[in-house]
Amino acid sequence: MASDRIFISLFFLLSVLACAPLCLCTGYLYPEFYDRSCPKANEIIKSIVVNAVAREPRMAASLLRLHFHDCFVKGCDASILLDSSGSVVSEKRANPNRDSVRGFELIDAIKSELEKECPQTVSCADILAVAARDSTVLRGGPFWEVPLGRRDSKGASLSGSNQNIPAPNNTFQTILTKFKLQGLDIVDLVALSGSHTIGNARCTSFRQRLYNQTGNSKPDFSLDKSYSAQLRTRCPKSGGDQNLFFLDFVTPATFDNSYFKNLLIYRGLLNSDEVLVTKSQQALTLVKKYSESNEAFFEQFAKSMIKMGNISPLTGKSGEIRIHCRKVNG
């Protein structure tokens, strides 16, 4: 594990050096950003996340998802946290987020403590990035140094949320296209999909696979029949929309590579999971690789999280440091 951390740190350093000329002009992200301005920032975030996940293990996956849904819309700028107010139309109302994305109160609690320690210093966007990392580690996943220095947006994009966030019923090509639009590739797609090793999904997000996958009133042929029968007991043709199901039914509370092993026996819960093994040979090869090596999965997941966290951050004098994560300042 020590060698993994050294490798990941070296990867980050090389990434920063590679973009150094641009960074000198616009500001850039680095793990030590708050070492002087708010040295206890990481400690405060971690302590609150630890307590929250201890109370409710599901919160770990929720915090990971918040960061993901934030970064895929206008970059990692905490736009997902804004409530509707004035000219801001909240992303929380978007189809991928409504009645689904959660953890906002926990982010509020973290921000409140940070404001007491170092007022208007730590951004909500950085809170999301660190909380996602801490959540992963708490469930047994890899550690990585989180590059910091993001600032918060002054607006949100409801349309961006509806258009850019991959949906459970998207085709493989649509999902890959949405990743590529963010500067991510197929390796990132497969590795980051591995976050489904923890967390839950609602019946409504995969019901079509059980009853009407292609509009012919038949179930998805790529879904294991016994697993499908088990799912139908709690996910009927109508009703039960909000019933929750583990994304990884083998080790649902542990961050590991069981998710990939499930895919290979056609027991991926969401259509967006199963297409990784049925619609792309390259993706299938990666799924097999990660299913055989937890170490390989962890190493790539950490790299891809760093890469995702670097999607179009606001730095320097762009954006602001919100006092309250739910609303813009002033």
Closest CA to 64 of 130, 110, 132: 132
The one catalytic residue among 67, 69, 196, 324: 69
Whether 69 is catalytic: yes
Question: CA–CA separation, 119 vs 139, rounded Å?
Answer: 31
Number of H helices, E strands in the chain: 15, 2
The Cα-based distances of 290 to 193, 205, 263, 275 in angstroms read 11, 25, 11, 16
Closest CA to 245 of 260, 235, 237: 235
- Note the helical H segments in the chain: 2-18, 20-26, 41-55, 58-71, 104-117, 124-138, 158-164, 172-180, 186-193, 207-211, 225-232, 258-264, 271-278, 281-292, 294-309
How far, rounded to the nearest angstrom, does the alpha carbon of residue 6 sit from its chain's CA centroid?
Answer: 24
Does residue 213 contact residue 219 with C-beta atoms inside 8 Å?
yes
- Residue 329: both structure tokens together: 């300042």
Residues annotated as part of the active site? 69
